[in-house]
Structure 1
Amino acid sequence: MKYNNIVLFSTLFSILMIVSACQSTQNLSEKATQQEIPNTKNGVILTTEKEEYKLSTEEITIKIENKGTFDFESDISVSLQKKVDGIWYEIPHKEQGFSEVGIGIIPGETDTLEVKLDDYKYKFNPGEYRVVQDGLAAPFEITNS
């Protein structure tokens, strides 16, 4: 009888581990092409408004600060990535498309963009994330509280 309980417990534990591993990446199958991305380049600094957001957050505010000597120009498209087991994965958008709208930030100026989490095909959960725009990445964390 003890042997049957051990086998049953081991089987259930294995199934639980497999299910939780699958849930941690959900539909995250595409690894980010760049694993290491700086948050600053040529005097332009990309950060999020907060380092930590609650799970109930609907949007992330990113700040683009131009401390360089040249104008910074970029489109407003951004991507979100999540770190799972030390690897960054792309979070897919609900709709594929591109943006013709751009931003320009002169030296000494700062601008912000709102990233709506509802625009992504992903059920956000606690963990490490980053916003990527124009070769820069701004890390942030989503927590339960």
Structure 2
Amino acid sequence: MGNWLSYLRYRHTVLPLQNQALLFKNESDTELIYGLRFSIQKKIEGVWFDYPLKNPLFTDEGHCLYPHKVESQTISLNNDLTEYELTAGEYRIVKSFSDYYIAAPFEIIE
């Protein structure tokens, strides 16, 4: 598979983060299937750990990200979503596309 990229950028962030666009760009020649499911990870002492979600219910419909196209998903990150408060630090949102996982980093600065 060729190179492909996802990005989500936050700088000086104050919670809650409502209706933020997570963008996906498929730079390959392959169609990629994805759903609405995502997870959050936090970097602690150089290691990424899963950040528990309170109620991680997502529908399983499949969406297609066509070659050389960009799609988006709107998400809201707030303390109702996570088991614990999102504190200052480095985070990333992880999504699966077909058999691949990609991560979109963001940072919360108090």
Matched, 1:108 2:108: no
- For 2:95, the equivalent position in structure 1 comes to 133
Could you say which structure has the greater relative contact order, defined with CA pairs below 8 angstroms and 6 or more residues apart? 2
Q: How does 1:43-122 map to 2 (within 5 A)?
A: 43-48=3-8, 50-59=9-18, 60-118=20-78, 119-122=81-84
Q: CA deviation at 1:73?
A: 0.8
1:33 equivalent in structure 2? none
Gaps of 5+ in 1: 1-40
Match among 66, 86, 99 for residue 124 of structure 1: 86
Q: Normalising to structure 1: TM-score of the pair? A: 0.63
Distance in 2 (alpha carbons) for counterparts of 1:112 and 1:53: 22
| Deviations 1:27-73, CA, capped at 9 Å, x for gaps | xxxxxxxxxxxxxx74331110x242512342443211011101111
Identity of aligned residues (%): 24
Q: How many equivalent pairs are there?
A: 103
Normalized per residue, the structure richer in helix is: 1
Q: Indicate the RMSD between aligned Cα atoms, in angstroms.
A: 1.9
Q: Does the aligned pair in 2 maintain the 1:43–1:67 contact within 8 Å? A: yes
Checking the alignment, whether the CA contact within 8 Å between 1:55 and 1:124 is kept in structure 2 is no
